[in-house]
């Protein structure tokens, strides 16, 4: 009986190790498949553009706004919120359609502070705009903190091509994302899958 239990435990551990190794291989060679989430053509009450990136995020938000994906844009993130606002204005988004949440410093805070604002304004749906490699964690974080709302992901595809990763520093950002996904799961309960 004891030998049978040991055999089952060994097989379970071996299967777990093999699955983990397979996931690591996929993550190394095809990070887009794991990190990037795109909801496709959708409409919502507001577009939420996260601070950070290489200024590709406001460009994507402006593109979606002009395509009538949502009538308003909420900028979230301390530090570059005014830069993002100016880029949106430069891209033709009217000032009356732009709101700023300028206190958050992390993806978790982006979600928490934005969700409070969305609930207060009785908003039901939002499109999250961030970099492609940050889109899974951002979407899952917003869904976790705003379970009563519907969130979509429409990321920027800046430096999506593997040839650009090294010269633009995307490899380092992807490695950090792979560390942050389980970190957010352990620390905040945000399930990345």
Query: Which residue in 107, 153, 162 sits closest to 132, CA to CA?
Result: 153
Which band of pLDDT confidence, cut at 50, 70 and 90, is reported for residue 163? confident
Domain range holding 49? 36-188
Global pTM exceeds 0.75: yes
Contacts of 45 (CB under 8 A, 6+ apart): 70, 71, 72, 118, 123, 124, 125, 126
Domain count for the chain, please give it.
Answer: 2
Q: Which pLDDT score, from 0 to 100, does residue 21 have?
A: 67
Indicate if 7 and 80 belong to the same structural domain.
Answer: no
Other CB atoms within a 10 A radius of the CB of residue 163 amount to 8
Indicate if 85 and 133 belong to the same structural domain.
Answer: yes
Indicate whether 4 pLDDT > 80: no
Q: Which pLDDT score, from 0 to 100, does residue 95 have?
A: 97
pLDDT > 90: percent of the chain: 60
Give exposure, 38-76, as e/b (b: 16+ Cβ within 10 Å): ebeebebbbbbbbbbbeebbbbbbbebbeeebbebbbbb
Indicate if 21 and 69 belong to the same structural domain.
Answer: no
Is residue 109 domain-resident? Answer: yes
Indicate if 81 and 174 belong to the same structural domain.
Answer: yes
Which band of pLDDT confidence, cut at 50, 70 and 90, is reported for residue 27? low
Q: Which pLDDT score, from 0 to 100, does residue 31 have?
A: 80
Which band of pLDDT confidence, cut at 50, 70 and 90, is reported for residue 108? very high
């Amino acid at each position: 009986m004891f030998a049978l239990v040991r055999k089952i435990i060994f097989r379970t551990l071996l299967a777990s190790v093999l699955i983990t190794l397979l996931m690591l291989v996929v993550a190394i060679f095809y990070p887009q498949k794991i990190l990037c989430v795109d909801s496709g053509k959708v409409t919502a009450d507001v577009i939420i553009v996260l601070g950070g990136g290489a200024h590709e995020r406001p460009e994507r938000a402006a593109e979606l706004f002009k395509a009538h994906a949502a009538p308003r844009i909420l900028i979230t993130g301390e530090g570059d919120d005014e830069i993002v606002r100016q880029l949106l204005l430069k891209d033709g988004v009217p000032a009356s359609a732009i709101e700023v949440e300028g206190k958050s410093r992390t993806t978790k805070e982006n979600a928490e502070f934005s969700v409070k604002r969305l609930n207060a304004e009785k908003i039901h749906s939002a499109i999250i705009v961030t970099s492609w490699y940050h889109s899974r964690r951002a979407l899952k974080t917003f869904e976790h903190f705003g379970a009563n709302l519907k969130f979509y992901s429409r990321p920027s595809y800046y430096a999506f091509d593997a040839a650009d990763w090294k010269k633009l520093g995307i490899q380092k950002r992807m490695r950090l994302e792979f560390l942050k996904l389980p970190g957010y799961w352990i620390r905040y309960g945000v399930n990345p899958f």
